[in-house]
C-alpha cells in the first residue's frame, strides 16, 4: 500500500532535520570568512577524502539507478551491474591519470580545460552544450523519476513530489560545494542503509516463498531459480544483447562511456578539483570501494522481484496493459516494508534524488558563472557578485527543469536508458578530445572541433541509418541485432566505440595537417599544451594497496558471474 504512517514521517523528519541542520552548520562556519567563487563552487581545500568519495556516490546514484537499474535487474539481471563495477575501475584510472593533469594545471571547470588546451571557441561550444545537457536531460530525468518514485511509496501527487524535491535540492545547493559535499556524507549513509534494508527484505521474501528463511538462502534461491540473470557477459542470443553486447562491456564501448562520465564530466570531477592530489585520489579510491557495494542495493532487489513475479507474486502491481513494467519492481518492494522501515526507505530514496539534483545544479551554476558570465558577459566582476549570479543560475535552472520534466517523454523511454542514450551521442567525441588533449601535444583546436561536431554527426548517422539500410548481414558477427520492431541496429555501446575510433582517427589526421600548437606560454589560436610529466602519475603505497584490493575484487566478481 503506497501510503506512509506517522512513524514513517518521524523517520523521514529525522533525516530531513539532520541534513538541514548539518548543512546550516557547515554554511555558518564558512560565512565567517570571505567566500571566493572557487571556494563557493569547489570548496577549495575544504573537503576531506571521505567527503569527496561520499559526494561522488551520492551525486551519481539517483532515481534512475535505484528505480531504473533495479528494473534492468528485473529484466536482464546482474549484467547491468557492469555500470557500477566497471565504474570502480574507472575511478582508479581517473585518480591516477586525470586528476594530476587537472590539479597541476589548476583546472576548475571542464570548459576552462578546453579553453586552456584548445581555444575559446571550443570551450564556449562545450559550455553551452553541457548546460543544455545538464538542464534538459539530467535535471529533468532526475526530477521526473524522483517524483514518480516518491509518489510510489508515499501516495503524494507526483507533481507535488517533484516540486518538493526541487526546493529541497535548491536549499542545499545555495550553500555551495562545501555544504553539498559534507551533507552528501549523510545522504550516502541514508541511501546505503535504506537500500540494504530493502535488499534484506527482498531476499527474505524469496526465501520465505520457498519455505526457508535467511538472506543467504534467499540469494542462493535467486541463483537457482533465475540462473540466466546471473551472467555479466551476455551472449548474442540474449534478448538484452542490444543493451549489453557481450565483451564490449569489458573491452569496448563501456570504457568510453565510463571514462567520459567519470573523467570529463564537470558534475563528477568538480568534487575533487578543489582538493590536493593525495586527498582527491583517496576520495576517488573510497568511491571505488563504495561502487563495489552498489549492485547489492540497486540490482539484487530487481532480480528478487523477478523471481517473486515468476512465482505468482506482484501480478497486478507489475502488469500494465498486459505488459510487464520492470521499473515498478523497486517501488513494489518498498511498499512491502513495515512501518518505520518504510520511512527509512523513503528517506534513502529522497537522499539519492536530492543529492544528484544538488550536484547537477551546482555544476550548472559553476559552468555558467565561471565559463560564460565572468569571462564573456561581465569581465572584472567582483567575487561576491559572481557567487550571487551562481545562486541565481541554480534557481533558474531548477525552475526550467521542473517545467520541462513532465513534457520530455521520459516515462515512455525509461529514465536510465533516456540518460544513457542522449549523453552517448556526444561522449565518444568528448572523450577523444580530452584524452588526446592530455597526452598528445600535437592535437589542434580544429581537431577538437571535429571531435565535437563530427562525433555527434557520426553518432546520429549510426543511430538512424538502420531505418534505411538493412544491417542484418552484420548479425552473425554480433555487430547488429534485431530490435523490438525487427529492425537490425548496432548495439549502443558498439556505436560509441565506432564513433570514438572515428573521432580519434579524424583528430590525428587534422592535427598532422594543421598548424602545430604553441608551446606553453606562447600565443596561438590553437591553444597551449598542458604541463604533463611522468612523475605526476606516481601513486602512494596506500593508494596502490587499495587499488589492488579493488581490482582483485572485480576480477573475482567477473570470474564467478561470467
Query: Which domain, by its residues, includes 512?
Result: 425-531
Q: Is residue 561 part of a domain?
A: no
Cα torsion angle, 287, 291, 294, 296, sign: negative
Residue 318 has pLDDT above 90, yes or no: no
Among 35-49, 367-381, 431-445, 467-481, which is the least confidently predicted range? 35-49
How many Å from the N-terminal Cα to the C-terminal Cα in the chain? Answer: 38
Co-location of 292 and 432 in the same domain:
no
Q: Determine how β-strand 319-320 pairs with β-strand 323-324.
A: antiparallel
Cα torsion angle, 256, 61, 101, 539, sign: negative
Co-location of 116 and 57 in the same domain:
yes
Q: Is residue 144 part of a domain?
A: yes
Q: Round to whole Å and give the CA distance between 247 and 232.
A: 9
Give the DSSP H or E segment for 182: helix 177-209
Alpha helix segments (H runs only) across 210-299: 215-225, 248-251, 253-263, 266-269, 277-298
The pLDDT, as a whole number, for residue 34 is: 47
Q: Is residue 554 part of a domain?
A: no
Co-location of 134 and 243 in the same domain:
yes
Q: Which of 354, 386, 416 is the last residue of a domain?
A: 416
Co-location of 95 and 188 in the same domain:
yes
Over residues 371-393, mean pLDDT: 84
The pLDDT, as a whole number, for residue 476 is: 66
Q: Is residue 540 part of a domain?
A: no
Co-location of 395 and 524 in the same domain:
no
DSSP string, 424-462: HTTHHHHHHHHHHHHH-TT--HHHHHHHHHHHHHHHHHH
Burial pattern 523-558, b for ≥16 Cβ within 10 A else e, equals: eeebbbbbeeeeeeeebeeebeebbeebeeebeebb
Q: What is the pLDDT of residues 406-422, one digit of tens each?
A: 877 665 445 566 666 66
In the chain, % of residues over pLDDT 90? 22
Q: Round to whole Å and give the CA distance between 457 and 453.
A: 6
Residue 35 has pLDDT above 70, yes or no: no
Over residues 179-185, mean pLDDT: 74
Over residues 202-227, mean pLDDT: 89
Dihedral angle of Cα 65, 66, 67, 71, to the nearest 10 degrees: 80
Q: Is residue 558 part of a domain?
A: no
Contact call for residues 71 and 304 (beta carbons, < 8 A): no
Co-location of 402 and 259 in the same domain:
yes
Over residues 155-181, mean pLDDT: 82
**Residue 557 CB contacts under 8 Å (≥ 6 apart), including other chains:** 85, 232, 292
The pLDDT, as a whole number, for residue 411 is: 54
CA-wise closest residue to 110 among 4, 337, 262: 262
CA-wise closest residue to 205 among 317, 311, 75: 311
Among 38-52, 82-96, 275-289, which is the least confidently predicted range? 38-52
Cα torsion angle, 337, 186, 290, 65, sign: positive
Co-location of 495 and 363 in the same domain:
no
* DSSP secondary structure code for residue 109 in this structure: S
Cα torsion angle, 462, 467, 473, 477, sign: positive
Phi, psi at residue 554, to the nearest 5°? -65, -40
The pLDDT, as a whole number, for residue 524 is: 44
CATH number assigned to the domain comprising residue 33: 1.20.1730.10
Q: Which position has the higher pLDDT, 477 or 237? A: 237
Query: What are 320's strand-pairing partners?
Result: 323
Task: Tell me the pLDDT band of 24, cut-offs 50, 70 and 90.
Answer: confident
Cα torsion angle, 333, 336, 338, 343, sign: positive
- Residue 518, CA atoms < 13 Å, CB-side half-sphere: 13
**Residue 406 CB contacts under 8 Å (≥ 6 apart), including other chains:** 144, 159, 162
Q: What is the pTM (predicted TM-score) of this model?
A: 0.85
Q: Is residue 539 part of a domain?
A: no
Phi, psi at residue 488, to the nearest 5°? -80, 120
Cα torsion angle, 57, 59, 62, 64, sign: negative
Residue 190 has pLDDT above 90, yes or no: no
Q: Is residue 552 part of a domain?
A: no
Co-location of 367 and 463 in the same domain:
no
Our count of domains for the chain comes to 2
Task: Tell me the pLDDT band of 43, cut-offs 50, 70 and 90.
Answer: low
Q: Which of 416, 443, 465 is the last residue of a domain?
A: 416
State the chain's mean pLDDT as an integer.
83
Q: 3-state SS of the chain: helix, strand, coil percent to 5?
A: 75, 0, 25
Phi, psi at residue 441, to the nearest 5°? -65, -20
Among 5-14, 232-241, 342-351, 501-510, which is the least confidently predicted range? 342-351
Co-location of 456 and 310 in the same domain:
no
Burial of residue 376 (number of CB atoms within 10 Å: 0-12, 13-18, 19+): exposed
Co-location of 324 and 465 in the same domain:
no
Q: Which of 416, 441, 456 is the last residue of a domain?
A: 416
Co-location of 265 and 316 in the same domain:
yes
**Residue 377 CB contacts under 8 Å (≥ 6 apart), including other chains:** none
Task: Tell me the pLDDT band of 556, cut-offs 50, 70 and 90.
Answer: very high
Phi, psi at residue 17, to the nearest 5°? -65, -35
Contact call for residues 353 and 63 (beta carbons, < 8 A): yes
Co-location of 233 and 302 in the same domain:
yes
Residue 1 has pLDDT above 60, yes or no: no
Contact call for residues 151 and 485 (beta carbons, < 8 A): no
* DSSP secondary structure code for residue 272 in this structure: T
**Residue 103 CB contacts under 8 Å (≥ 6 apart), including other chains:** 273, 275, 276, 277, 280
Q: Is residue 321 part of a domain?
A: yes
The pLDDT, as a whole number, for residue 522 is: 42
Q: How far is CA 181 from the centre of its chain?
A: 16
Contact call for residues 24 and 232 (beta carbons, < 8 A): no
CA-wise closest residue to 303 among 227, 402, 411: 227
Residue at grid coordinates 546550516: 24
Amino acid at each position: 500500500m503506497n501510503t506512509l504512517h506517522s512513524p514513517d514521517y518521524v523517520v523521514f523528519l529525522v533525516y530531513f532535520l539532520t541534513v538541514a541542520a548539518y548543512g546550516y552548520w557547515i554554511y555558518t562556519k564558512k560565512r565567517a570568512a570571505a567566500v571566493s567563487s572557487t571556494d563557493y563552487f569547489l570548496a577549495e581545500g575544504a573537503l576531506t577524502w571521505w567527503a569527496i568519495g561520499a559526494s561522488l556516490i551520492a551525486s551519481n546514484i539517483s532515481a534512475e539507478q535505484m528505480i531504473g537499474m533495479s528494473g534492468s535487474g528485473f529484466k536482464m539481471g546482474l549484467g547491468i551491474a557492469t555500470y557500477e563495477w566497471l565504474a570502480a575501475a574507472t575511478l582508479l584510472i581517473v585518480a591516477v591519470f586525470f586528476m594530476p593533469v587537472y590539479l597541476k594545471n589548476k583546472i576548475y571547470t571542464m570548459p576552462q580545460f578546453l579553453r586552456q588546451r584548445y581555444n575559446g571557441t571550443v570551450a564556449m561550444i562545450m559550455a553551452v552544450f553541457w548546460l543544455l545537457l545538464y538542464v534538459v536531460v539530467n535535471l529533468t530525468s532526475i526530477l521526473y523519476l524522483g517524483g514518480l518514485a516518491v509518489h510510489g511509496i508515499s501516495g503524494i501527487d507526483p507533481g507535488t513530489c517533484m516540486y518538493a524535491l526541487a526546493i529541497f535540492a535548491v536549499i542545499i545547493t545555495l550553500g555551495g560545494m562545501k555544504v553539498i559535499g559534507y551533507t552528501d556524507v549523510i545522504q550516502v549513509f541514508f541511501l546505503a542503509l535504506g537500500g540494504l534494508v530493502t535488499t534484506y527484505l527482498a531476499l527474505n521474501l524469496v526465501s520465505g516463498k520457498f519455505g526457508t528463511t535467511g538472506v543467504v538462502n534467499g540469494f542462493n534461491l535467486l541463483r537457482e531459480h533465475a540462473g540466466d540473470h546471473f551472467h555479466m557477459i551476455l551472449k548474442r542470443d540474449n534478448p538484452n544483447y542490444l543493451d549489453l553486447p557481450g565483451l564490449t562491456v569489458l573491452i569496448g564501448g563501456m570504457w568510453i562511456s565510463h571514462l567520459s562520465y567519470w573523467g570529463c564530466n564537470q558534475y563528477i570531477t568538480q568534487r575533487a578539483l578543489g582538493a590536493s592530489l593525495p586527498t582527491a585520489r583517496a576520495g576517488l579510491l573510497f568511491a571505488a570501494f563504495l561502487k563495489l557495494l552498489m549492485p547489492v542495493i540497486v540490482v539484487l532487489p530487481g532480480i528478487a522481484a523477478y523471481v517473486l513475479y515468476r512465482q505468482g507474486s506482484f501480478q497486478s502491481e507489475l502488469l500494465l496493459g498486459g505488459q510487464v513494467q520492470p521499473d515498478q519492481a523497486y517501488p513494489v518492494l518498498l511498499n512491502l516494508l513495515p512501518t518505520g522501515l518504510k520511512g527509512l526507505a523513503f528517506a534513502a530514496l529522497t537522499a539519492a534524488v536530492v543529492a544528484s539534483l544538488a550536484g547537477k545544479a551546482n555544476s550548472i551554476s559553476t559552468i555558467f558563472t565561471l565559463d560564460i558570465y565572468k569571462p564573456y558577459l561581465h569581465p572584472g566582476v567582483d567575487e561576491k557578485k559572481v557567487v550571487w549570479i551562481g545562486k541565481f543560475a541554480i534557481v533558474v535552472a531548477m525552475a526550467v527543469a521542473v517545467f520541462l520534466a513532465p513534457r520530455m517523454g521520459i516515462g515512455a523511454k525509461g529514465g536510465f536508458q533516456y540518460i544513457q542514450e542522449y549523453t552517448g551521442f556526444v561522449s565518444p567525441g568528448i572523450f577523444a578530445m580530452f584524452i588526446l588533449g592530455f597526452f598528445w601535444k600535437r592535437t589542434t583546436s580544429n581537431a577538437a572541433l571535429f571531435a565535437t561536431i563530427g562525433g555527434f554527426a557520426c553518432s546520429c548517422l549510426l543511430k538512424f541509418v538502420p531505418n534505411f539500410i538493412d544491417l542484418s548481414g552484420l548479425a552473425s558477427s554480433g555487430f547488429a541485432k534485431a530490435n523490438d520492431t525487427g529492425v537490425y541496429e548496432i548495439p549502443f555501446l558498439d556505436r560509441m566505440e565506432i564513433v570514438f575510433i572515428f573521432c580519434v582517427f579524424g583528430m590525428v589526421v587534422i592535427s598532422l595537417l594543421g598548424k602545430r600548437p604553441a608551446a606553453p606560454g606562447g600565443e596561438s589560436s590553437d591553444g597551449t599544451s598542458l604541463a604533463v610529466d611522468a612523475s605526476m602519475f606516481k601513486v602512494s603505497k596506500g593508494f596502490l594497496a587499495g587499488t589492488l584490493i579493488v581490482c582483485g575484487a572485480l576480477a573475482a566478481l567477473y570470474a564467478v558471474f561470467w
